Amino acid sequence: MPRARSLKQTEWQTAAADENAGGCLSFYALPPLAVILIACLLTALALNSPIRTSALPINTSTSPGRLSPIFTREVQHWREDILRWATASSLDPNLVAVIMQIESCGDPRAFSRSGAMGLFQVMPFHFYFGEDGFNPETNSLRGLAYLARSLHTANGDARLAMAGYNGGIGVITRGEWTWPAETQRYVTYGSPIYEDAKNGATSSVMFDEWYRRYGAGLCNQAAQRLGLP
């Protein structure tokens, strides 16, 4: 914050003289006052004028708190929960949706050969004793805590955070050529899908390729579990 400028001796004297002057305005003070009043009037009129919205930049990207339409109906089934979970975890809901899409396509009972469980395919050792790993609230709590930690370690880089989520946070600081093939594939699809989602795209070439190669069977199973027609 800039400091106030010190008054010179002559300025202090002028100020003191003004304080001792009469209360009525002199004739010579009227023209400057008129200028000030006109300026104030013009400013007030300007403030009440309508804003030309055509001159404002338009952001076409997906607004925070909204979910991209590119995700499948199985993931959209969890839309309100995703928004709530993302807010609680301080994460972008579209990033959360990408993870759910690739991991389970919204199947709360998904179970992998390695033992990963539920919507976010959380490994059993992330749960506390007695917790139900298939419970959506518990699964999201543990899974998104790990995603948030991965994103923090990656300094906000969503691509590296996805790698850490899939391959373990330790891979973030390693060269990509050392990553497991599954992790490389994970970010190859996940990163551009996320970019399309957060930038407001209504379709995604990489999403379509992922769905055709890996997602169709996963999503069919999810639809059956969710009772979707």
Distance of CA 201 to the CA centre of its chain: 16
Instruction: Tell me which of 11, 103, 176, 182 is the catalytic residue.
Output: 103
DSSP element (H, E) containing 166:
helix 158-167
Read off the tokens for 130: 């007695």
Distance of CA 24 to the CA centre of its chain: 60
Instruction: Count the Cβ atoms, other than its own, within 10 Å of residue 222.
Output: 26
Read off the tokens for 9: 């001796």
The total number of residues shown for the chain amounts to: 229
Reply yes or no on whether 131 is catalytic.
no
Read off the tokens for 198: 């957060």
Query: Average pLDDT, stretch 67-76?
Result: 98
Q: Among 25-34, 67-76, 194-203, 207-216, which stretch is predicted with the lowest mean pLDDT? A: 25-34
The CATH topology of domain 73-226 is Lysozyme (1.10.530)
Query: How far is it, in rounded angstroms, from Cα 212 to Cα 153?
Result: 32
Asked whether the CA dihedral 131, 112, 109, 185 is positive or negative, the reply is: positive
Task: Point out which residues pair with 117 in neighbouring strands.
Answer: 111, 122
Q: Are residues 119 and 143 in contact, defined by beta-carbon separation less than 8 angstroms?
A: yes
**Is residue 46 pLDDT above 50, yes or no?**
no
DSSP category for residue 111: B
Q: Are residues 36 and 173 in contact, defined by beta-carbon separation less than 8 angstroms?
A: no
Res 65: pLDDT:
63
Query: How far is it, in rounded angstroms, from Cα 80 to Cα 9?
Result: 68
User: Domain map of the chain by residue range?
Assistant: 73-226
Question: Which residue is listed with tokens 């027609």?
Answer: 229
**Is residue 55 pLDDT above 80, yes or no?**
no
Rg of the chain on CA atoms, in Å: 30
**pTM of the entire predicted model:** 0.73
Could you read off the pLDDT of 117-158 as tens digits, one per residue?
Answer: 999 999 999 999 999 999 999 999 999 999 999 999 999 999
Instruction: Count the Cβ atoms, other than its own, within 10 Å of residue 57.
Output: 5
